[in-house]
Amino acid sequence: MTLRFVEVADRVHVLRESLLDVNVTLVVGDGAALVVDTLSTAGQATELAAAARTVTPCPWTVVNTHHHFDHCFGNATLAADPARPVYAHEVAAAALRERPDELRRAAYEEMRGERPGLAAELAGTALLAPTHVVRTETVLDVGGRRVLLRHPGPGHTDADLVVHVPDADVLVAGDLVEQSGPPAFEESYPLRWPDAVAELLRLTTPGTVVVPGHGELVGPEFVRAQHGELVELARLIRAGHTGGAPPERVAADAPFGARAALLAARRGYAELDGAA
């Protein structure tokens, strides 16, 4: 299936990749552009670059919303030759710079059972670390357009960035917000995730277009509903830990389904025990 961008607001375009349902956002300014996330492999990123070139001939800057493979393993294709700036949170940048073999192995193990072909590609993908780090907030000028990169605190990972395009009222949430499935808790901070989403919501208006990490575009009401579920999950984790309940009991009563909630409960218990 050929990848293509769809304009969702003034000169803001979103591409929805079909294999893992990942969203990529392209912001176009006067003589410059911004690509948010770069997909999983060199092959996917090559198609992504070709799709972007049907929208704009402008040079682009790259942003990674976090360091998971489906959002940043295409960096080398998008930003190595010619060299382009790549922005990410400092923790994500350090992971890609210092632990590339570990990240490739983890990606391979995650995909080898369900998608062995993709897993093989991931194992051989050349990784490019970000060149610019964000700690709390950075403002970019994308061809005369103000674009805010903000770390709202630990949530899906400890390295999440959201990308706000205020003149178009678009907010790219990365995997802090999920539409096509439950949130992914493997490296998460479930007790602090609600605060991160609350921070994200402060950047919205009633008409904001929110681009989730995976799935269809949503609005603030969807995000508020997911925030409420994250608040309830965090409450159940704290109560279960205080009461000595096993994580399995917490998961049975929690939002997002037993499998996702069990991962969240184990992560939350580890955090409360000082192990995360």
What lies within 8 Å, CB to CB, of 63 at 6+ separation is: 34, 35, 36, 37, 86, 87, 88, 149, 161, 163
Domain boundaries, the chain: 5-178+188-199+207-218
Strand order, beta sheet including 170-174: 137-142, 145-150, 162-165, 170-174, 209-212
Could you give the residue ranges of the DSSP H alpha helices within 244-257?
A: 247-253
Residue 248 token pair: 């399995």
List, for residues 203-236, the tens digit of each pLDDT value.
999 999 999 999 999 999 999 999 999 999 999 9
Three-state secondary-structure class, residue 169: coil
What letter would DSSP give residue 213?
Answer: S
Whether the CB-CB separation of 137 and 202 falls below 8 Å is answered with no
Neighbours of 249 (CB within 10 A): 14
**Regions of the chain where pLDDT drops below 70:** 1, 276
pLDDT at 183: 98
Residue 149 token pair: 């990169």
Whether the CB-CB separation of 205 and 168 falls below 8 Å is answered with no
CATH of 5-178+188-199+207-218, one of 3.60.15.10, 3.40.50.720, 2.60.40.420, 3.40.50.1460: 3.60.15.10
Across 202-233, b (16+ Cβ under 10 Å) vs e yields ebbeeebbbbbbbbebbebeebeebbebbbeb
Neighbours of 106 (CB within 10 A): 16
Across 33-53, b (16+ Cβ under 10 Å) vs e yields bbbbbbbbbbebbebbbebbe
Could you give the residue ranges of the DSSP H alpha helices within 30-181?
A: 42-53, 69-72, 75-79, 90-98, 100-111, 116-123
pLDDT at 1: 55
pLDDT at 218: 98
Cα–Cα distance for residue pair 201/225, rounded to 1 Å? 11
Cα–Cα distance for residue pair 152/89, rounded to 1 Å? 11
Cα–Cα distance for residue pair 49/37, rounded to 1 Å? 11
Residue type, 126: A
Task: Give whole-number Cα distances, 179 to 118, 145, 157, in Å.
Answer: 23, 28, 17
Query: Helix axis angle, 116-123 relative to 100-111, nearest 10°?
Result: 170
The DSSP H or E segment spanning 223 is: helix 220-243
